[in-house]
A and B are shown apart, each in its own frame.
Chain A
């Protein structure tokens, strides 16, 4: 009597070894895939974020140019998601679009946020647009008859303008300007002069007063009244002229 043979043919052994090898290889591949999945997703997210920045910024500018301010704002809002790169741009673009849409307090809040996030020469354009929004808020207050608020807002706009770094007058700043057709230095200078004049006009504007006995206050001369009237009319005209389709008169009126 003989025991049953346990020997297998050599080809069976080779096939089994090959299959073991395949299983091991597939297992390694699977774990490599699982292990690198977070890195892959992060890379995809990174690339997607970078590319989307260009797309949303372009859409924001394009919509702004055709006076679609709500569309511009919506595109700029999309830049706020994972706002890691050049973070000032999202609130800057949103604020500029809101300013153009005459939503001035909201525009001011966004541009002030942008100013906090901006570094170096990035602050130049932000300061210009923030000053223009403040100036228009002052214009609106004056139109509503609130001279004190108007003077306060003109003063704030002037402060924002005057505190603009000297570097914003440089050629490098001009090259980074969102409005290359206008000289940034000229824009800043023009804004400063205009704001000084508006503050001066506001100072000279007669404020509403309680009725008082005639003998207590000497009446201004007719010439002085004409002077003030002329300046007021000019101020209104300038406001209308400069407050056109952008937040103010200067060139830096495009989101980007």
Chain B
């Protein structure tokens, strides 16, 4: 008996300290659940849902085809997106393929054994389709501005036209070059500064940097011509007296005419401006030159491209502080004085002498252009 007792102890406790005891052989009494027979003999009811546990059926070929088609098509879309083919994504071919994929998916959803894979394919297609991937690609194209892929070879050729559409290239070659405009502007500034310094005692400060801006050719590309904006020159002294303003502009007029330009004319003076008085008031603070905060005079050396501007800014006629604010903002950008006289030159469509040979050579590829 002692041995049996020890055996029982060993059975429950040996090598399993703290573990619950295992059930006795045959299990506990009453531990078995009541087995209820399955209602397999229930009579069929019209419209009832089948509830028989028939076991897991493997997916049919239609489901697999739907899944494969949706995944492969999504991959094609993504590769096209990476390649930047937005036009291909929105093309008829892709749209037709998308419809085929959708049709296969819908067909698989009507098949009991293809429904699960069809549903997965549907999710893939909802996420990656012509519209969603096309939208991403359109955004990418917009950000990069690369719409050139849609152009024909002829259009791409025209895009590289070196001159400007509607302008005779020979006129471009015969007019002042960039270097000549720059030289004439420098001479003009030098003479005007000398004259005004001698007459009015002005001192001068250089304003801004020279700017060369490429000009478009009218065929969707850039020409070889540029718009030249000279450095500016500004007086350190304000010019607020009406009579002195007139004298200053008259002195400048003398110099520009000596340099072969036309007479100066005033944008701000209603007596000879082409703008109506309300616009003059909006641009120059008033329609009366005596109370204007800005004077703007202009001339040119047509048929050459140089355009000359002489502006006077006068803070003494700033009625509401708005003009001072604008001038201070400009001062912060360029460092120019808040008021006084400013001179600068602009020339559009000029060609650098360094580019002349290349310009002429390229023109040979464009007979009939212009």
**A: which residues have CB within 8 A of B?**
9-12, 14-16, 18-19, 22-23, 26, 48, 50-52, 54-55, 57-59, 61-62, 65-67, 151, 154-155, 158-159, 162, 166, 180-181, 186, 190, 193, 196-204, 227, 230-231, 233-234, 237, 240-241, 243-245, 251, 256
Contact = CB atoms under 8 A, between A and B. Distances in A.
A18 B51 contact: yes
A55 B135 contact: yes
A135 to B, nearest CB: 14
Contacts of B135: 50-51, 54-55
Nearest to A229: B302
Contacts of A204: 274
A251 B218 CA distance: 11
Given A234-B302, A241-B167, A199 B90 contact: no
**Closest CB pairs A-B (n = 6):** A15-B42, A244-B218, A203-B274, A240-B166, A199-B274, A54-B135
Given A26-B49, A227-B262, A230-B303, A203 B147 contact: no
Nearest to B296: A196
B103 to A, nearest CB: 18
B267 A200 contact: yes
A181 B144 CA distance: 11
Contacts of B218: 241, 244-245
8 contacts: A19-B48, A58-B90, A66-B152, A159-B279, A190-B227, A202-B274, A244-B164, A245-B165
B242 to A, nearest CB: 22
B145 A243 contact: no
Nearest to B49: A22
B87 interface: yes
Contacts of B267: 196, 200
Given A58-B90, A155-B275, A186 B152 contact: no
B148 A23 contact: no
A233 B300 CA distance: 13
Tell me the dominant secondary structure on chain A's binding face. Answer: helix
Contacts of A151: 274
A12 B39 contact: yes
Contacts of A230: 262, 302-303
Contacts of B275: 155, 158, 196, 199-200
Contact of A256 (B40, B142, B263, B274): B142
* Interface footprint category on B: 35 or more
B48 A243 contact: no
A11 B42 contact: yes
A245 B219 CA distance: 7
Contact of B151 (A16, A55, A57, A66): A66
A160 to B, nearest CB: 11
B302 to A, nearest CB: 5
B141 A58 contact: yes
A22 B51 contact: yes
A233 B304 CA distance: 12
Interface in B33-84: 36-43, 45, 47-49, 51
Given A65-B150, A241-B165, A155 B302 contact: no
B213 interface: yes
A244 B166 contact: yes
A54 B45 contact: no
Given A26-B49, A245-B219, A155 B276 contact: yes
Contacts of B155: 66-67
A10 B279 contact: no
Contacts of B219: 244-245
A12 B165 contact: no
Interface string B218-244: 111000000100000000000000000
Contacts of A52: 131
B124 interface: no
Nearest to A19: B48
A241 B48 contact: no
A57 B166 CA distance: 30
Contacts of A159: 279, 282
